[in-house]
Amino acid sequence: MPFSFGMILGSYSDRKFTKESNMETIEHITALIIDDSPYIRTLVGTLLKKEGVKNISYAHNGEEGIKMFFETEPDIVFLDNIMPKTSGMEVLEEIRKTNPECKIVMMSSMTSVRTIEDSKDLGANFYLIKPFLPEKIRYVLDRFLKLDNLIPIAV
């Protein structure tokens, strides 16, 4: 899968989605947000809720994030790169040792091309550079959780 910054798509936050074949909705997606900033945890959580994701867990550092990951087994992780104690790269490496399937989105305001390449080499699926537009969350959900295969249902 190519690694790119992607494009920005509009939000469909007023819709619920379902797969025709098994009636799986976006509400069944599980997410974990690992960031030492309460603001970013709240922002990403709010944006995910706006898109219809209801099962969201939060961790305020890398150590707690690893523990929460194995407890919750999320479909997607939003992972800050620079945190005290255990860095996002260390968390990424630990997750990938046992779970190559989970989608991992690295996030950081302090980054370089080398950091992005290193995260890709360790198994990150995407890299969000802070600050990012809210539409990027929708793009990430669409791209990695295949929401484009889900159809809107009446609410």
pLDDT in tens, 106-141: 999 988 999 999 999 999 999 999 999 999 998 898
pLDDT score at 144: 80
What is the rounded distance in angstroms from the CA atom of residue 101 to the CA atom of residue 95?
10
pTM: 0.80
Domains of the chain are 24-146 (3.40.50.2300)
83-121 burial string, b = 16+ CB within 10 Å, else e?
beebbbbbbbebbeeeeeebbbbbbbeebeeebbeebee
For the chain, which ranges sit under pLDDT 50? 1-23, 149-155
